[in-house]
Structure 1
Amino acid sequence: MRRLPPLAAVRVFEAAARHENFTAAAAELGMTQAAVSYQVKLLEDRVGVALFRREKRRVVLTEAGRRAAAPVSRAFDAIDGAFAELRAEDEGMLTISTSQTFANTWLAWKIGGFQMNHPEMAVRLLVSDTLVDFATDEVDVAIRAGRGQWEGLTADLLLDIEFTPMCSPSFLARHGGTIAAADMPNLTMISPQDPWWPWWLREAGVNAPEGRLRSGVRMDSQANEGAAAMAGQGVAMLTPFFWRNDIVEGRLVRLSDQVSTRGYAYWLVTPEHRRMTPKIKRFREWLLEEVGRELREGGKP
């Protein structure tokens, strides 16, 4: 069993011994000179020997203090080295949790740019629609869909979730080159159980019933719904921001200028106490700039 003196007092002693100056030690440790003097006296009382000799306007290590100073300083160097290795290991890997839609339609296409700017850092992308638990999962940041209120987490708004119906040019051509909102419930709808469908239809002036509109293929993510739409399998309700390149390049067609929203958005979230961790701060700044730039350039073709 170790019989250690108070470690706070030992830390103060190490700084004071290195400087042989209580004022300089206080400045290094962010303490008052009186607090340094108190901790040194506490340690001297504990070990039963004087560690400093108080002289006019200065302190000098006693022989006992000098014998103790060197091994104590080496011990603190060893402790610092052990935690520095852990800090370096932590800084060397950024783990991001995000949904299938956000990863497959946007982030996976962009994350290489972040890593090229930070070649010293490895990036691990965990793709799942299950919400991460920061208390138990080894994750640094997450990108979540919601309203931005999660206890114990800070949330930065990335983009509002908007939606509008889209299909492939071939599907549109098979239906006469134009599809009105009132015609959509009678067509093949991708994920017709999605509550976005009746919401958008009602805002478009179509008397859509509550709940499922009709039977159809059910997809587990918007990423898969968009792929099915591009394959000509039907009309999908999609977020324009994620599919802007496919629209510009002619793989998808928007069927209406109307865009709806239900008040949800994508957010970057991280535990409050880790917000200013350097690697998280770098990723946050990069992500906000990238999303913001695309929105400024026209995230709604």
Structure 2
Amino acid sequence: MRLPPLKALPVFEAVARLNSFSQAAEELAITQSAVSHQIKQLETYLGERLFWRSGRTVTLTDEGRQYFDAIGTALMQIERASEQLLGHEESRIRLSVFSSFAVRWLVPRLPELQRLHPQIDLALEMSSENPVLSDRVADCFITIHTAPPAYSYELLYTERLFPVCSQDYWQRIRRELGRDVEPEGWGEKPLSPEDVARFPLLSTHSIFDKAAGDWQAWYRDVNAPLPPGARVQHFSHMLLALEAARFHQGIALTNDYMLSTRKDSEDFVRLPTHSVVTGDKFYFAWKTSRRQERGIQTLRRWLVDEAIRGGLRGE
């Protein structure tokens, strides 16, 4: 078996993760010159430059990034295998997750995860966009993309959008549409797209990455254009649009996980009208080479069970 200088591998991993020779030296409790020596020795063995250095700035070369993806995973597998044999049951897992999914669905459920699996030490990395799937970012991910072939994917949720407003605003809608004379909830007639357009529409830009894209898709689902006279108020993220709806500013499009857990979900009314499937699917993703890691598989099973129990996913 022909192996590289093994002492250099943890040093390389630390420099690549921290983007700093000095921080790597501090973390490993060695001198900065020792770090430089180990990296030079590894580069000589491989015949490739692993880092670009410009003053105090250190960045991985393309070859270095490719090597780090493989070496980082291998070192973590060695560490976890050793911990299991030593009887250390705690599993430290970094999970990268969308901010809205984390705040509205995952975080309220974490006490149950801690109760059932106290050995899992979960660190959340919140992202506003789809993260790059890499061990440098996290150990596992909740993502809507399934392109990287080195990863495995488990479906959690197929997104659909439906209109909601506050309880007070719903009473206003009923009054203005002349429905307040009917008993609440009794024989509730569906709202037409024309009815909905009479009120301010709170739009989330990040869903379709364009202004009013969510409402355009909602109207397109019934073969109708967004009415030219519609009053659209724009927000970057669904969390903001939902907060505006809570404070009686209009009608927002939201999805199942945003209202599935929090007690404040009772502040909202789901309007009696159609929903639209966005085409986005939320997956739990983990590196296939790490499929035997007990902590990742425990987290995967728990997430799937919670998605089924909460109605996001079928059995």
Q: TM-score range by the shorter chain?
A: 0.5 to 0.7
Letter in 2 for 1:202: R
1:275-290 maps to which residues of 2 (within 5 A)?
Answer: 275-290=291-306
User: Which of 192, 214, 220 is equivalent to 1:202?
Assistant: 220
1:23 aligned partner = none
2:6 aligned partner = none
**Which structure would you say has the larger Rg?**
1
1:123 aligned partner = 122
Deviation at 1:221, TM superposition (A): 2.3
1:175 aligned partner = 173
TM-score (norm 2): 0.59
User: Which of 246, 251, 261 is equivalent to 1:230?
Assistant: 246
In the alignment, is the contact (CA less than 8 A) between 2:95 and 2:122 conserved in 1?
Answer: yes
Greater Cα shift, 268-277 or 192-201: 192-201
CA distance in 1, matches of 2:112, 2:242: 24
CA distance in 1, matches of 2:110, 2:92: 14
CA distance in 2, matches of 1:249, 1:230: 9
In the alignment, is the contact (CA less than 8 A) between 2:155 and 2:282 conserved in 1?
Answer: yes
CA distance in 2, matches of 1:110, 1:96: 14
CA distance in 2, matches of 1:217, 1:81: 48
Percent identity over paired residues: 21
2:208 is the counterpart of 1:191 = no
Q: Which secondary structure does the structure 2 equivalent of 1:175 belong to?
A: helix
Greater Cα shift, 250-259 or 239-248: 239-248
2:94 aligned partner = 95
CA distance in 2, matches of 1:119, 1:255: 40
Cα-to-partner distance string for 1:179-237 (whole Å, 9 max, x where unaligned)? 54213334222126242211111223533269x9655231x322232222112121111
Ranges in structure 2 where 5+ consecutive residues have no aligned partner: 4-77, 178-190, 205-210
2:255 aligned partner = 239
Cα-to-partner distance string for 1:133-191 (whole Å, 9 max, x where unaligned)? 34352411110124x44332211100110111111111122233455421333422212
Letter in 2 for 1:259: S
In the alignment, is the contact (CA less than 8 A) between 2:159 and 2:255 conserved in 1?
Answer: yes
Cα-to-partner distance string for 1:48-71 (whole Å, 9 max, x where unaligned)? xxxxxxxxxxxxxxxxxxxxxxxx
In the alignment, is the contact (CA less than 8 A) between 2:95 and 2:124 conserved in 1?
Answer: yes
Distance 1:258 1:114, change over 3 A: same
Distance 1:271 1:83, change over 3 A: closer
Letter in 2 for 1:233: Q
In the alignment, is the contact (CA less than 8 A) between 2:257 and 2:312 conserved in 1?
Answer: no
Deviation at 1:94, TM superposition (A): 1.2
Larger helix fraction of residues: 1
CA distance in 2, matches of 1:247, 1:253: 13
RMSD across aligned positions (CA): 3.5
Deviation at 1:251, TM superposition (A): 0.9
Q: Which secondary structure does the structure 2 equivalent of 1:279 belong to?
A: helix
RCO comparison, higher one (Cα < 8 Å, 6+): 2
Distance 1:142 1:242, change over 3 A: same
1:44 aligned partner = none
Ranges in structure 1 where 5+ consecutive residues have no aligned partner: 1-5, 9-79
Q: Which secondary structure does the structure 2 equivalent of 1:97 belong to?
A: strand
